[in-house]
Amino acid sequence: MSRAESLTVRAPSPLWTFGLLRSELVTTFRRWRTLALLGVLAAVPVLVGVAVRIETKGGAPSGRGGDGGGPAFIAQITNNGLFLVFTALAATLPFFLPMAVGVIAGDAVAGEANSGTLRYLLVAPAGRTRLLLTKYVTTIAFCLVATLVVAVSALAVGALLFPLGDLTTISGTQISFADGLGRALLMALVVTGSLTGLAALGLFVSTLTNSGIAAMATTVGLLITVQILDQIPQLHAVQPYLFSHYWLSFADLMREPVYWDDLVKNLELQALYAAVFGSAAWARFTARDITA
């Protein structure tokens, strides 16, 4: 029995169709495309760690510090492998992580329509609203898994190639390794939250077309466009409203005390994008004619 047929005959769950969510999660994370994306993300910390290790054999690594971004973290990797986690998140967040999320979100609804299973899924008792919510929750689950894959890969490579121990924050104070590990986990959660707005945008795009490839390409294209706009000085007035503007604010978690202003602004902005484009996706999906 196919996945669509099994969902059609399944009785509705009182907890917003848990069976549908479980089926969606299993289907998403079993796809070769998803596994390939996670594999690429896991490889990024390996490449960064090996590159820094090779460079340090010839001398101290060059690094520019001061703002808490990637270069400042790179300069600290040789002193403490835990900094590879922060560097890997900073390296993957501008493009690799959101690109992967854009692929999953863009294909969420359009991919079902393209394969001809969307109509059968809607016959299930879950209905359109619950199906759309399930798709969004699955995308957020991918955001979390993808971020943790980067962080765990970086931690393993950092522990293998560099020493571990107490570390120095961006502010110059010392914190314990356990505290640093806790902050690394918190950073991963913040990075996951930073991708929720893009996930809602991708889901909305996915409801506009029956072509999964077109939805994925459009979502990734919008991501690249927003990233470019965020780098143009003349657009400084609108940049704080772009969903990617505060993405790297997670580095402020490595300050002592933690600088919360940009972190809060980032999460508030993501909540706004999620609400606006989530509502737009719901309005579009519940009103469209499903022919495939």
- Total domain count for the chain? 1
Q: What letters, b where the CB count within 10 A reaches 16 and e where it falls short, cover 191-217?
A: bbbbbbbbbbbbbbbbbbbbbbebbbe
Structure tokens that stand for 33 in this block: 């495309």
Residue 199 belongs to a domain:
yes
Average the pLDDT over 146-175 and give the result. 91
pLDDT at 5 over 50: no
What is the maximal distance between C-alpha atoms in the chain? 65
Residue 99 belongs to a domain:
yes
pLDDT at 195 over 60: yes
Residue 270 belongs to a domain:
yes
Q: Tell me the pLDDT band of 68, cut-offs 50, 70 and 90.
A: very low
Structure tokens that stand for 262 in this block: 């940009």
- 171, containing H or E segment: none
- Cite the DSSP H helix spans in 58-169: 70-76, 83-92, 96-115, 118-121, 127-161
Model confidence over 76-91: pLDDT tens digits? 888 888 999 999 999 9
Query: Domain containing 283: what range?
Result: 3-287
Average the pLDDT over 275-279 and give the result. 96
Residue 292 belongs to a domain:
no
Residue 177 belongs to a domain:
yes
Residue 281 belongs to a domain:
yes
